[in-house]
Amino acid sequence: MSKTSTEVAASAGTLPAAQAAMAASVLQPAAEGQPEVPMLQFITPQGTLNAGEQPLPDVPLPDPETQLWLYRQMRRIRHFDERAWVLYRQGKMGVFPPYGGMEASQAGTAAALTTQDWLFPTYRDTGAALTYGLPIAQTVAYWRSSPHGWYMPEDLKITPFYIPIATQYPQAVGAALAERKRGTRNVAMAFIGDGGSSEGDFHEGLNFAGALNAPCVFILQNNGWAISVPTAAQTRARDLSRRAEGYGVPGLRVDGNDILAVYAVTKAAVERARGGEGPTLIETVTFRIKPHTVADDPTRYRTDEMTAGWDTKDPVLRLREYLLAQGTLTEEGEAAMLDEISAEFEEAVAAADALPDPTPAEIVDHVFAQPTPQLRAQRAEIMEEDSA
Amino acid sequence: MSKTSTEVAASAGTLPAAQAAMAASVLQPAAEGQPEVPMLQFITPQGTLNAGEQPLPDVPLPDPETQLWLYRQMRRIRHFDERAWVLYRQGKMGVFPPYGGMEASQAGTAAALTTQDWLFPTYRDTGAALTYGLPIAQTVAYWRSSPHGWYMPEDLKITPFYIPIATQYPQAVGAALAERKRGTRNVAMAFIGDGGSSEGDFHEGLNFAGALNAPCVFILQNNGWAISVPTAAQTRARDLSRRAEGYGVPGLRVDGNDILAVYAVTKAAVERARGGEGPTLIETVTFRIKPHTVADDPTRYRTDEMTAGWDTKDPVLRLREYLLAQGTLTEEGEAAMLDEISAEFEEAVAAADALPDPTPAEIVDHVFAQPTPQLRAQRAEIMEEDSA
Amino acid sequence: MTAVGDKKQTLAAAPQRDASKPITMVAAINEALDMALTRDPDVYIFGEDVGVMGGVFRATDGLQARHGVERVFDTPLAEAGIMGLGIGMGLAGLKPVAEMQFAGFLYPALDQIMSHLGRYRHRTRSRFTLPVVVRAPYGGGVHTPEQHADSPEAVIAHVPGVKVVIPSNPQDAKGLLLAAIADPDPVFFFESIKMYRSLKAEVDPGYYTVPIGQARIHRAGDDLTIICYGGMVEVCDRAAEAAAGAGISAEIIDLRTISPLDTATVLESVRKTGRAVIVTEAPRTAGFHSEVAAVIAEEAIDSLLAPVVRVTGFDAPYPPFTAIEDSYRPTPTRVAKAIRRVMEY
Amino acid sequence: MTAVGDKKQTLAAAPQRDASKPITMVAAINEALDMALTRDPDVYIFGEDVGVMGGVFRATDGLQARHGVERVFDTPLAEAGIMGLGIGMGLAGLKPVAEMQFAGFLYPALDQIMSHLGRYRHRTRSRFTLPVVVRAPYGGGVHTPEQHADSPEAVIAHVPGVKVVIPSNPQDAKGLLLAAIADPDPVFFFESIKMYRSLKAEVDPGYYTVPIGQARIHRAGDDLTIICYGGMVEVCDRAAEAAAGAGISAEIIDLRTISPLDTATVLESVRKTGRAVIVTEAPRTAGFHSEVAAVIAEEAIDSLLAPVVRVTGFDAPYPPFTAIEDSYRPTPTRVAKAIRRVMEY
Ligand SMILES: Cc1ncc(C[n+]2csc(CCOP(=O)(O)OP(=O)(O)O)c2C)c(N)n1
Ligand SMILES: Cc1ncc(C[n+]2csc(CCOP(=O)(O)OP(=O)(O)O)c2C)c(N)n1
Ligand SMILES: [Mg+2]
Ligand SMILES: [Mg+2]
């Protein structure tokens, strides 16, 4: 009997080494007959145009205006991510899951929607939510666990962030199908992680979307880690986009740190869904260079070697190089942009700071349209205690 | 916007026609870019050797002795299926899910195991269980819903039939992994249907088996129907074997009515698992020509046209033609075989008839190794009532 | 906006029926669904085998033919998917009515139910609400195969934000189901398999609702209160009938809704009779019967003349053994014994 | 037969510790797991992030390093898969100890739990048994994100064939977990997140078990009985302490096991004191508190001097709103109010 991955890992001794061995070994058998699916990539990590042949020849490079706009989106959400760390350390924000390094994957996908479309983000996807249009003040309130952060604006079709992994996938199918039943051209977009793709709901969601021809775009952000578990231990598959085929659904793979590629692919999938041609799964290949949350200590499960290389693939710097070289962006233009972004953020935080604290009785509000006798009694109980 | 399957179906009017339209239309988009995966087939429906190129050149035709033995297995389980109908009509058997027409798929797979291997059958897989070695008397008792039918012999590693769809898949991974942890070469085989492949547990089971390198053989019997729902409405995928790729696991497709092909493929997958090379998914392409259960009325959901053609693909007659032509089977040899099978069955039914009825107190037995005070009290209560 | 579901050309008229002719509970449910589809274009019905085939119990029989495959459709075989689909449709403002083929097969949907169905209004402070109905046949008594006879209503009743309704007869079933569909919040609707066809009754052929959250005095009495619902009502009725012969006057409360529980009706009766027997067919430990007993112990202790007695299934799985399964489910005899216990105390 | 799990070369010795130095509950749990892995080669530990990282609460910290990745391993992220894996390993005679990362995330596993975990012995008449342990952190009080603070113990307690254990302190946690692992049947082991590190106590460094199914008198008293478990024990303790100042002598029963419930200990105490307050942090309707109340109402009615009062969470989801979530979980003040209610009745 050949050694299993875990046997190899066991004999390897120290932990991160064991994990590295596991990852390598588990991949082996699958790798045999399974070539890696090529990724769409327009801009190389060096910030130059990728001159090679593209796996999706129908998907065009966005025009310079769009490029600049996408750059701004990334800058905007990077600013939030960076400021969130500071606010957390100051005790002004709760446990926040950072997405720094994944801006292309989040902004490039959400930017393909209008606010008539649905967005189902996970806890990791603050950047996508902000790009879609969730107000910053509300987003800050959310990560402060204030009720103000949960009341989604009536004119947006975005849900609060999903914590129970993968549950949003079948729900997005329902929202998408509802749009279709109503005769609109609106679509639903749902996010998931590499870890989330192991849950049954991922499978059921994709299969339902295919079978019912729901206008859904499924974004699978493969950032290499599910807390401490690397993608290679999550599954023996080389890539996750391939799963789509098993549902008769197109599965596309894109360099998740190249926002031009991400945006172009997503736009194509959104149009396909609008046209009634059904769902698409898009795997954005990216990396979680940050900890799982601001409170996580990644040294418990990974070494510097395991993250090496990814810092040089930074999606913001990559597009910046390209735009500067093309003359689409100037240093002065960028400075002005960053000032605007910073001012917008500070104003929003001030607005969030001004939001009133909830009162304990709100615990039992909004359970039903009409409170039950039980809830009325419980509310009275809380009020009594609160005033005591 | 192009018409959805259901719109097409709606305008089609009458029900089975609507369903046929739905099936056809739903397939369309997937069919576009997705060629059907070729099936291994040794014996054509006409009972002749398939002269074409095989998709799995490494998988050899079983030798004549094995062929004859496999024929006997099919005859034996067909006898059970046919007699079960009669017993049901006589009130001597409960609601039984027939597998007539699927004998190759069930006997050909289970025949590849020893009783050191695990078998996880569904309610449809009485034929597989009998082939594996489940005693006939016990099987009859099971379908009479007698406790005697549920006590699986200690020397077999077969579980009772699974009713909650797909739950057996991750469990088979656990049993297989346990064998590996113990250092044996035993494997676990689990069955599922086309309908069952839509459940999350199907996905989680396959992915776990891949990730943990569990020695599992997953049999997916695609018999075209999940009660009233045709496979084409179950999923937009053209074939289900392709799903395996998404887990880095080999997925094979075989003519499920050709037992020589089924057996050969399964044997190869079993050997692969024994050798520590991991799991395989095998889709046996067959058809449920019978009703869902002996109590089901298929005219509520399908027309004769929808089942047409499949009667001519009968797996038993197909192999019979071939064996007679080859001289491996003679008419006299067959007659003797059938007599033996019939005698074995009648003897087993007599044994089942002789099994004592349970007593009501058995309801609360076997809940825990040691009954709790609650269960002791409840047992006393039942006994008291029973004797009153 | 042209709503596909609005296309009236596919809508055949519902068959007329003689209002004086009693119908079964499953027919009443079918009639309610048909009426809801006709009245409200936002109503959609889906689940396993509900479309072409009309459901394994024929609760949705003929609905696809009359309302079209856009409104009544079969899904792939996956309960979490079905529940997720319903939640998503509900988020988008439709009124989904999902079927779980059997209550024992709703378990794969429990994550969707516990994590989302009851929480959405709360977590979004009513920005998103879920006017979703989930129907599920439950309970034993008809010799179904293994796992087909479960009674998991207590589990759903423990989920905040979800109402749980369980009718015991055709007239209530129709009105409660129409009320559930009209309700702005999620309602679970458990249908006793045993009652589907065991009892026929006259049912008002028009549109009407029976209020959710209100119990019904099924039988008035003075000596003790029997509290039950769904398939247990007829069992308790027979026990009460027998008791009446012995001069004992039992009041039967058919809860109809278990969450929110109509504590007022329960307590009023128990305060009057001083004795309570609670009957369900679910396993004993932590069943919904225990909630009812707890409410009585908390609110009516002074009136009690006897222990609060529970008659229930046992702390074992519903047995898949035909010959003895009838001993699992409470019988009139077992209820009668409980009546004796509280009366002779 | 060479068992891979037997390979002793990978087994580093557990670190020595000073027995007189108090340790946290999570450390006691870690010690129990370590000991079980050492004593029994059939014990396997798995779940999400339990291996390399040692668990999000560090309950399995260091175990993979000491016992190897064959014995302690990370699984893909899928709870039904984890539970199914455990059931399959149990069928094959191993002793799996699975972790659900949070009780609020065990819901996807409920189908495996309800359909199989508790049924296997019953349906196979003990041919197949499941010596499986499932650990899950539960409950509120530490400001976790949404959905991380659920208390679904009543749901599992309603599943026949599954035992449910909930320790309240380090010494019990270790002994109960070792008993759960030694138990031939499935045991659910809920661990109060709040208690993981809030309390340190001396813990016997050797192997010992605390019997499953036996409650513990946490504090002896005469005037009323407080029944609780897990994270509520320290809350009740503080309330009892305050009551003692007012001359009220409260007995606290720490159930430790909720299924099977130790009715004897509960009833003996309630018969003595005549008053019962039951405290849990789960939603009110159909929580396990109601089961305890029902048992008292059924068996100790004559001794009751006051209503049986439940102090619980509310019929709303555990609120994801940090500023107010502490009002959801029972506080010493709320327990004190209940004490007054039964004493002044
Ligand atoms: C059903 C469920 N199980 C477990 C968790 C705990 N958990 C939170 S995040 C996470 C890892 C998710 O990884 P991935 O899907 O790759 O997303 P990422 O964090 O990388 O964005 C886990 C296990 C959860 N939230 N929900
Ligand atoms: C979880 C669950 N949901 C629903 C059912 C009801 N049910 C029994 S058989 C069946 C169809 C199964 O179809 P398939 O998997 O194709 O198997 P086949 O009957 O064709 O062998 C359904 C829906 C069930 N047993 N379990
Ligand atoms: Mg990830
Ligand atoms: Mg089928």
In chain B, % of residues over pLDDT 70: 91
The verdict on a CB contact (< 8 Å) between B175 and D89 is yes
Q: How far apart are CA A314 and CA D50, in angstroms?
A: 31
Residue nearest to atom 3 of ligand 2 (CA): C105
CATH number for the domain harbouring residue C306? 3.40.50.920
- Counting Cα atoms < 13 Å in the Cβ hemisphere of A297 gives 9
Strand pairing category for A225-226 and A229-230: antiparallel
Closest ligand to C-alpha of residue D81 is 1
Asked, for residue C328, whether it belongs to a domain, the answer is yes
- Tokens in use for B78? 């067909």
Q: Above 60 in pLDDT, residue A79?
A: yes
Which of D6, D209, D163 is CA-nearest to residue D94? D6
**In a domain? residue D49:** yes
How high is the pLDDT of residue C3? 37
Instruction: Look at residue C5 in the predicted model and tell me its pLDDT.
Output: 36
**Ligand 1 shell residues, CB under 6 Å:** A 124, 163-165, 193-196, 223, 225-227, 288, 292; D 48, 77, 79, 101, 105, 108
CB-CB neighbors (< 8 A) of D333 in chain A: 385, 388
C181 Ramachandran zone, left/alpha/beta (phi>0; psi -120 to 50) = alpha
Banded pLDDT at B34 (limits 50, 70, 90): low
The answer to whether residues C47 and C189 belong to one domain is: yes
Same domain, yes or no: C129 and C242: no
State residue A91 phi and psi, 5-degree precision. 75, 15
Closest ligand 1 atom, residue A99 Cα: 21
Verify that D191 and D295 share a domain, yes or no: no
Specify the pLDDT at position B387: 81
Per DSSP, the residues of B288-327 read --S-SSTT--GGGT--HHHHTTSGGG-HHHHHHHHHHHHT
Q: What is the 3-state secondary structure (H, E, C) of B358-373?
A: CCHHHHHCCCCCCCCH
Tally of CB atoms within 10 A around B204 = 32
| Class of residue D269 by CB neighbours under 10 A (exposed 0-12, middle 13-18, buried 19+) | buried
Task: Beginning with the edge strand found earlier in the chain, give each strand of the sheet holding C95-99 in spatial order.
Answer: C72-74, C43-47, C95-99, C133-138, C187-192, C163-165, C257-259
Over the stretch B107-125, which tens digit does the pLDDT of each residue have? 999 999 999 999 999 999 9
Q: How many CB pairs under 8 A join B and D?
A: 152
Boundary (domain end) residue, out of C144, C166, C198:
C198
Is the pLDDT at B28 greater than 50? The verdict is no
- Average pLDDT, stretch B24-49? 71
- Give the CATH number for residue D44: 3.40.50.970
Task: Give the pLDDT mean for B338-349.
Answer: 98
Distance of alpha carbon C8 from alpha carbon A180, whole angstroms: 17
pLDDT (0 to 100) of residue A309 = 83
pLDDT for the residue B14: 40
Residues in chain C with pLDDT values less than 70 = 1-15
C157 plus C255 within the same structural domain = no
Task: Tell me if residue B61 falls in helix, strand or coil.
Answer: coil
Range B162-181 average pLDDT: 98
Report pLDDT for C14.
62
Chain B residue numbers touching D129 (CB-CB < 8 A): 369
3-state secondary structure chain D: CCCHHHCHHHCCCCCCCCCCCCECHHHHHHHHHHHHHHHCCCEEEEECCCCCCCCCCCCCCCHHHHHCCCCEEECCCCHHHHHHHHHHHHHCCCEEEEECCCHHHCHHHHHHHHHHHCCHHHHCCCCCCCCCEEEEEECCCCCCCCCCCCCCHHHHHCCCCCEEECCCCHHHHHHHHHHHHHCCCCEEEEEECCHHHHCCECCCCCCCCCCCCCCEEEECCCCEEEEECCCHHHHHHHHHHHHHHCCCCEEEEECCEEECCCHHHHHHHHHHHCCEEEECCCCCCCCHHHHHHHHHHHHCHHHCCCCCEEECCCCCCCCCCHHHHCCCCCCHHHHHHHHHHHHCC
Q: Which two tokens stand for residue C136?
A: 């599920």
User: pLDDT tens digits, residue range B262-305?
Assistant: 999 999 999 999 999 999 999 999 999 999 999 999 999 999 88
**Do both C8 and C153 map to the same domain?**
yes
Alpha carbon of C209 to those of B276, C105, C175, C182, C205: distances in Å? Answer: 62, 28, 4, 9, 12
Q: List chains touching A (3+ CB pairs under 8 A).
A: B, C, D
Q: How confident is the model at residue D13 (pLDDT cuts 50, 70, 90)?
A: low
Of ligand 1's listed atoms, the one at least distance from the Cα of D48 is 23
Q: Domains in chain C: how many in total?
A: 2
Domain boundary among D156, D172, D198: D198
Alpha-carbon gap: C125 to the closest alpha carbon of chain A (Å): 6
By the 8 A CB rule, do A295 and A95 touch? Answer: yes
User: Average pLDDT for residues A9-21, to the nearest whole number?
Assistant: 39
What confidence score (pLDDT) does residue B272 get?
97
Global ipTM = 0.95
Question: Quick check: A5 pLDDT over 50?
Answer: no
Distance in angstroms (rounded) separating the CA atoms of residues B45 and B313? 5
- Burial category of C8 from C-beta neighbours within 10 Å (exposed 0-12, middle 13-18, buried 19 and up): exposed
Same structural domain, C184 and C221: no
Residue C207 lies in a domain: no
Structural domain includes residue C14: yes
Residue C258: phi, psi to the nearest 5?
A: -100, -25
B19 contact residues in A (CB cutoff 8 A)? none
Q: How confident is the model at residue D22 (pLDDT cuts 50, 70, 90)?
A: very high
Q: Which of A204, A247, A365 to mutate: most C Cβ within 10 Å? A: A204
Dihedral of CA A234/A236/A240/A244: which sign? negative
Q: Can you give the pLDDT at residue C15? A: 65
Shared domain check, D139 and D109: yes
Probe site for chain B from A8, A199, A208, A236 (most B CB atoms < 10 A)? A236
The model's pTM is 0.95
CA distance C182 to C206: 15
Q: Which of residues C149, C167, C198 is at a domain's end?
A: C198
Assess if residue D250 is contained within a domain. yes
The per-residue pLDDT for D150 is 98
Q: Please state the atom number of ligand 2 nearest to the C-alpha of residue B123.
A: 21
| Domain containing residue D330 | 216-344
Of D273 and B37, more confident: D273
Nearest ligand, measured from the Cα of B125: 2
Distances (CA, A) of B216 to B37, B187, B198, B286, C283: 22, 6, 19, 22, 36
Is residue B292 part of the annotated active site? The answer reads yes
Instruction: Indicate if C191 and C237 belong to the same structural domain.
Output: no
pLDDT computed for residue A33 by the predictor: 55
Query: What does the block give as tokens for B104?
Result: 């190759």
- The CA distance from A200 to B201, in Å, is 6
Q: What is the mean pLDDT of residues A165-173?
A: 98
**Region of residue C108 (phi > 0: left; psi between -120 and 50: alpha; otherwise: beta):** alpha
Query: Domains in chain A, ordered, with CATH?
Result: 5-357 (3.40.50.970), 361-388 (no CATH)
C25 contacts C195 by C-beta, under 8 angstroms: yes
Confidence grade of residue D9 (pLDDT, cut at 50, 70, 90): very low
Whether residue C43 sits in one domain with residue C160 = yes
Residue A9 has pLDDT above 70, yes or no: no
Residue D204 lies in a domain: no
At residue B3, does pLDDT exceed 70? Answer: no
Structural contact between residues B227 and B195, judged by C-beta atoms closer than 8 angstroms: yes
The more confident residue out of D83 and B24 is: D83
Beta bridge partners of D251: D225
Q: Are residues C126 and C249 in the same domain?
A: no
B165 lines ligand 2 (CB under 6 A): yes
Q: Examine residue C211 and state whether it is found in any structural domain, yes or no.
A: no
Task: Give the dihedral sign, CA A28/A32/A38/A43.
Answer: positive
In-domain check, residue C30: yes
C261-296 in b/e form (b: 16+ CB < 10 A) is bbbebbbbbbebbbbbbbbbbbbbbbbbbbbbbbbb
Per-residue model confidence (pLDDT) at position B189: 99
**Pick from A150, A177, A369: which is nearest to C124 by CB?**
A150
Which residue, B63, B105, B86, B33, is CA-closest to B288? B105
C192 and C113 share one domain: yes
Q: What is the pLDDT of residue D154?
A: 98
Task: Kindly state the tokens that stand for A262.
Answer: 């991400």
Residue D176 sits in the same domain as residue D241: no
Q: Is C77 in the pocket of ligand 2 (CB under 6 A)?
A: yes
The residues of A assigned a catalytic role are 288, 292, 301
Q: Which of residues 306-325 of B touch A (CB under 8 A)?
A: none
- % residues pLDDT > 90 (chain D): 94
> What is the rounded average pLDDT of the residues D320-338?
96
Residues of C numbered 31-90 whose beta carbons fall under 8 angstroms of chain D's beta carbons: which are they? 80
Q: Taking CB atoms and an 8 Å cutoff, what residues of chain C touch D315?
A: 160, 260
Distance (angstroms) between ligand 4 centre and the Cα of B303 equals 17
C-alpha D305/C-alpha D149 separation (Å) is 35
